[in-house]
Amino acid sequence: MPRDARVDAYIAGKAAFARPILIHLRDLVHATVPAIEEAIKWSMPAFLYRGRPVANMAAFKQHAGFGFWNRQAMPTGQEGEGMGQFGRLTSLADLPADAVIAAMLREAVAAIDGGTVPKRAARAAKPEAAVPPALAEALAQDALATATWQGFPPGCRCEYCEWVGDAKRDDTRARVAQTIAQLREGKRHNWRYAGC
């Protein structure tokens, strides 16, 4: 697989002690799993297999780190001593033998191939925001605003509900009128900032 130029730039921008560690790990990953893909995820180099994360590496001011995505299946006893499974890496001597890392890489890829990598648990859907009575009444009287309202995702509706609901009595009517006007134009509550 081709290497990602962003990973090249990431490595080149790190401290002199970290570059050999990152280069070695990168080369080892590619030699072990030729089908591995590179990307920048979470602001650090990440290695993906069939679109699923396998491992990532990073360099900090005084150490580097390398870790597997499915950490629970591959403990090494150095968890908590730095990012990843191998603790704080300050030189190539801090890495375990290449054969150890290669075996872990093959195991991680086999887990993806075998479908045994746990998927992220589905999040429970948040309940729909309660529509303030004044806004509900105004929506009932305006079909265009209601159509826009119903087309918005729950988060956009929630923003309007909170904004109208937080208003004091005299201010409520003005906020409801502004909400209806913006909805008639198809605008989200924070349209000025979201580029909508």
DSSP annotation string for 98-166:
HHHHHHHHHHHHHHHHHT-SPPPPPPPPPPPPPPPHHHHHHHHT-HHHHHHHHHS-HHHHHHHHHHHHT
Residue 73 pLDDT > 60, yes or no? no
Asked if residues 162 and 156 have their Cβ atoms less than 8 Å apart, the reply is: no
CA dist 146 and 87 (Å) reads: 55
Q: pTM of the full predicted structure?
A: 0.59
Q: What is the pLDDT of residue 42?
A: 84
CA dist 153 and 174 (Å) reads: 24
CA dist 179 and 53 (Å) reads: 42
Summarised one tens digit per residue, pLDDT across range 124-171 is 777 888 999 999 999 999 999 999 999 888 888 898 999 898 887 776
Rg of the chain's alpha carbons, rounded to an integer? 25
Summarised one tens digit per residue, pLDDT across range 41-51 is 888 999 999 88
Band the pLDDT of 192: cuts 50, 70, 90: low
CA dist 29 and 123 (Å) reads: 32
Q: At what angle do helices 5-12 and 18-32 cross, to 10 degrees?
A: 150
| CB under 8 A, 24+ apart: contacts of 32-39 | 32/101, 32/102, 32/105, 32/106, 33/105, 33/106, 33/109, 34/1, 35/1, 36/1, 37/1, 38/1, 38/3, 38/4, 38/7, 39/4, 39/6
